[in-house]
Structure 1
Amino acid sequence: MSARDKRWTVVDLFSGAGGMSWGFHAHPAFRVAAAVDAQKSKPSRSTLDCNSTYQSNIGIRPLNYDLQEIHPSELRQAVRREGKLRNPTVLIACPPCTGFTRTLPKNHQEDDPRNSLVGRVAEFAAALQPKIIIVENARELIRGSFKSHSVNLIAQLQRLGYSVHADIYRLDKMGLPQRRERAIIIAVAAGLPMRTLHDLWCGWKVNSKSTTVRHAIYDLPEVSAGQTHPADPSHASSAVTDSVLRRIRSIPSDGGSWIDLFADPRTAELATPAMRRSVQANRVNHFSDVYGRMAWDMPAPVIKRECSHVGNGRYTHPQQDRLCTVRELALLQGFPEDYRFDGTSRQNAYRHVGDAVPPLISHQLAWVCSWILGGAKPKPNKFILPNTTLNPEDILQDKTSNSEQLKITAPKAD
């Protein structure tokens, strides 16, 4: 820390639109000093342009380096120069989860080249020497077919002298209005105590009514497909073709699915060829979330990167005949209600939301880190991120809890 600024410093690798950084940015004891993201989209597409969104909200411009190629010593020099620091207190590193997620069938058999980025985290940790390291990814990082990447990472961090804890968490149990399961790895330097989200939530539980779609977005003003609300440029829903709009209108509100189209011959005519083939093959659960509506009184389904079209998942509004807006999905992803996504294309904005670590959760991780670094265990009125869908009054005491409900125990490394 400098003599002028006594806050602990944070460096965010694979920073995206700032979801993980925001949780620390909102904590008074931390300063986000530097961030790095190559802004890579799919090869056939243009840049993700996430660094402009990051800068609009966090206030610094991420360094545009490819973390698969840059040498750790070069990264160290760039980060020290940019962040005006020697070594960061906290290193955040959330490599792409595309190669791990179970939603892509090939990930059960093919080891995606991007998965090797997990191992690079240890190389960057060796160069930057942070006191705490946090890695977040799909649950398959520590449970899936290629968990060897996390096993290797943990072993490397332990050789560097860190104590490491890895587990899988149900984020709805920590207040996110979404059925999201994520792997979180925390490593702490020698001499520091290990604290986790389990410890933070011990003795507390979330009122389940506060993690529903209704609680999160019910009071937002109505908009139509292709319309932007004048008071919020991110409360905007993409336009759809007439055939897609007719299909949406024929799907029952509050949890309906494309399968419901086949209940009536008149609406069955609106089904896509893929839907017809699935019914003919008696695979009615095949991609059942496609074109599906969210249900008001349940958490949202997992919000993924390609959430910009109703044909990619259950992203249709529970009642209105349209795709959920960027703002609605951002709220369901744990962003504050005033987070800005208006500096890029709408399609990129949807990707920024789907790619992000929920800030509602990253803020809790920031409080875990401040606890590790010598602070007291915070109460919910401290670790609940302001201006999100979760409020301190949504948290209840749970004297019988040992936080087991928060986690899905990961298998031990072989």
Structure 2
Amino acid sequence: MTDQPSNVVDLFSGGGGMSYGFHVHPRFRMVGAADVEVGKPSTGHGAIGCNATYDANMGVTPLAIDLAEVFADELAIKVFPDGLDKLDVLLACPPCTGFSRAVARNYVEDDPRNSLVAKVAAFAGELRPQVVMMENVPQLLNGNFRHHFAALRSGLEDLGYEVHAASHNLTRFGLPQQRERALVIAAKRDLRLRTLDDLWEGYGVRAEATTVRRAISHLPAIAAGETHPDDPNHTSTKLSGESLERIKAMPHDGGSWPDLLGNPETEKYLIPSMWKAVKIGRLNQYVDVYGRMAWDKPAPTIKRECSHVGNGRYAHPVQDRQCTVRELAILNGFPTRYRFVGTSRKNLYRQIGDAVPPLISYQLAWVANWMMTGIKPDVEQVLLEGTHLTVADLEFRESTRQLVLA
């Protein structure tokens, strides 16, 4: 391994999930980041406050700039006003909201933010990294607006990169959550391109290591709306009135609002949208709303609006509350001591839901290191310290090739 660290820049850096895996890897050094900190388009720039979280964990203050408004030839000057001889890795994860199938209008309306995907090729052309990595929802590769990815691929190939893109269920790599994501890896053609599938070839993670129980059952109990005195991020959304009573009425360990049907004492907690789902026979579509997680399964996908039990299956398996910021962070692959900074608890939840799991980005850092050095890591090396995974969770498998190529 070279004595000189390899330089990494993260665009659309958020709360630092993609960066953190490179930050703690011995080869890499974060030298720049940028994020406009938009919570929702209606809230304006800076609203989500993720740059403070990034700085608290990486020691780098991201530029608060809108990358949609920055020309590629301006970016290097903004990120490196004093100049930089060489950039080794460019991390770029543009917003996924415009591609996600969870947003109904995405089936017919091309979100303007989607154009940021192809713009990454222009940024790469100016910054000239050896490796480019991107994470997004699977619809980036197979959705109605996949032409944005096609433009990115074409642009990178014209710059001399080999490009690989595939969708993965990240549970396979040890994440205690059902999170399907597209990963794009591009490498200069003088490097041999590698992927997470190559990294994990012949190995897997035991199923019991990817459950909610394994990830968060050790955390101390707290009540709804409370904050644990030893961890300011072990804090949950305040619930009261019918919202709290509704959760209390739901069966422990995977229960949901359809379990309240058939009993007048519990049916009174159903809201109009639930009765509408009953009337049209679409319980399965809405079953996760106000649902409890199950101890012995991976968590459901943790999305950006994960701050309330009414937005998904985000209630604790047995405690009568929303899962805390810390619990959802652990379930999204953050180490236990990661600091989320800000006065708005809702924005802390959003930082988690938006993030690339550091448990995965650390593995991607090892993939990048392998490509750049030619040295394949042992699978034991790729487990991020401070997360729930241990070497004992690994198991040998004859074949782990389970991916969908773009």
Number of the residue aligned with 1:379: 378
User: Which AA in structure 2 matches 1:205?
Assistant: G
Supply the distance in 2 between the matched residues of 1:272 and 1:264 (Cα, whole angstroms): 15
Q: Greater shift after overlay, 236-245 or 13-22?
A: 236-245
The answer to whether the 8 A contact 1:80-1:87 is kept is no
The answer to whether the 8 A contact 2:277-2:286 is kept is no
Q: Does 1:10 find its partner at 2:5?
A: no
User: Which AA in structure 2 matches 1:243?
Assistant: E
Supply the distance in 1 between the matched residues of 2:188 and 2:291 (Cα, whole angstroms): 46
The alpha-carbon distance between structure 1 residues 342 and 156, as it changes in their structure 2 partners (threshold 3 A), is closer
Q: Does 1:175 find its partner at 2:174?
A: yes
The answer to whether the 8 A contact 2:56-2:341 is kept is no
User: Which AA in structure 2 matches 1:410?
Assistant: L
CA shift for structure 1 position 50:
0.3
Q: Which contiguous aligned blocks of 4+ residues in structure 1 show a shift greater than 3 angstroms?
A: none
- Counterparts of 1:16-95 in structure 2 under 5 Å? 16-45=14-43, 47-81=47-81, 85-95=84-94
Number of the residue aligned with 1:355: 354
Name the TM-score, length of structure 2 as normaliser.
Answer: 0.97
CA shift for structure 1 position 295:
0.4
User: Which AA in structure 2 matches 1:346?
Assistant: R
The answer to whether the 8 A contact 2:333-2:359 is kept is yes
CA shift for structure 1 position 375:
4.2
What are the superposed Cα offsets for residues 293-323 of structure 1, whole Å, 9 maximum, x if unpaired?
0000000000000000000000000000000
Q: Greater shift after overlay, 132-141 or 336-345?
A: 336-345
What are the superposed Cα offsets for residues 174-221 of structure 1, whole Å, 9 maximum, x if unpaired?
000000110011111121101000100001111010000000001110
Q: Greater shift after overlay, 309-318 or 278-287?
A: 278-287
The answer to whether the 8 A contact 1:335-1:388 is kept is yes
Q: Does 1:313 find its partner at 2:296?
A: no
CA shift for structure 1 position 410:
3.3
Number of the residue aligned with 1:184: 183
5+ residue gaps, structure 2: none
Which SS does the other structure have where 2:121 is aligned?
helix
- Counterparts of 1:122-201 in structure 2 under 5 Å? 122-201=121-200
CA shift for structure 1 position 81:
2.5
CA shift for structure 1 position 328:
0.2
Supply the distance in 1 between the matched residues of 2:327 and 2:52 (Cα, whole angstroms): 21
Q: Does 1:98 find its partner at 2:97?
A: yes
The answer to whether the 8 A contact 2:233-2:324 is kept is yes
What are the superposed Cα offsets for residues 46-103 of structure 1, whole Å, 9 maximum, x if unpaired?
6110000000000010011111010111111122226x52331000000000011111
User: Which AA in structure 2 matches 1:404?
Assistant: R
Supply the distance in 1 between the matched residues of 2:224 and 2:373 (Cα, whole angstroms): 50
Q: Does 1:404 find its partner at 2:401?
A: yes
CA shift for structure 1 position 396:
1.1
Number of the residue aligned with 1:290: 289
Which SS does the other structure have where 1:327 is aligned?
helix
The answer to whether the 8 A contact 2:54-2:60 is kept is yes
Give the % identical residues: 52
CA shift for structure 1 position 263:
2.9
Supply the distance in 2 between the matched residues of 1:330 and 1:41 (Cα, whole angstroms): 18
The answer to whether the 8 A contact 1:212-1:298 is kept is yes
Count of aligned pairs: 403
User: Which AA in structure 1 matches 2:62?
Assistant: P
The answer to whether the 8 A contact 2:39-2:347 is kept is no
Q: Does 1:113 find its partner at 2:112?
A: yes
The answer to whether the 8 A contact 1:49-1:344 is kept is no
CA shift for structure 1 position 17:
0.3
Supply the distance in 2 between the matched residues of 1:31 and 1:344 (Cα, whole angstroms): 29
User: Which AA in structure 2 matches 1:28?
Assistant: P
Which SS does the other structure have where 2:96 is aligned?
coil
The alpha-carbon distance between structure 1 residues 228 and 271, as it changes in their structure 2 partners (threshold 3 A), is same
The answer to whether the 8 A contact 1:52-1:344 is kept is no
Number of the residue aligned with 1:219: 218
Supply the distance in 2 between the matched residues of 1:128 and 1:43 (Cα, whole angstroms): 28
The answer to whether the 8 A contact 1:21-1:362 is kept is yes
Tell me the C-alpha RMSD between the 2 structures. 1.3
Supply the distance in 1 between the matched residues of 2:383 and 2:193 (Cα, whole angstroms): 21
Name the TM-score, length of structure 1 as normaliser.
Answer: 0.95
Supply the distance in 2 between the matched residues of 1:43 and 1:69 (Cα, whole angstroms): 15
What are the superposed Cα offsets for residues 157-180 of structure 1, whole Å, 9 maximum, x if unpaired?
101110110101110000000001
The answer to whether the 8 A contact 1:80-1:86 is kept is no
Which SS does the other structure have where 1:28 is aligned?
coil
Supply the distance in 2 between the matched residues of 1:208 and 1:64 (Cα, whole angstroms): 40
Number of the residue aligned with 1:277: 276
User: Which AA in structure 1 matches 2:55?
Assistant: Q
CA shift for structure 1 position 145:
1.1
Supply the distance in 2 between the matched residues of 1:363 and 1:240 (Cα, whole angstroms): 35
Supply the distance in 2 between the matched residues of 1:173 and 1:373 (Cα, whole angstroms): 25
The answer to whether the 8 A contact 1:36-1:64 is kept is yes
CA shift for structure 1 position 143:
1.1
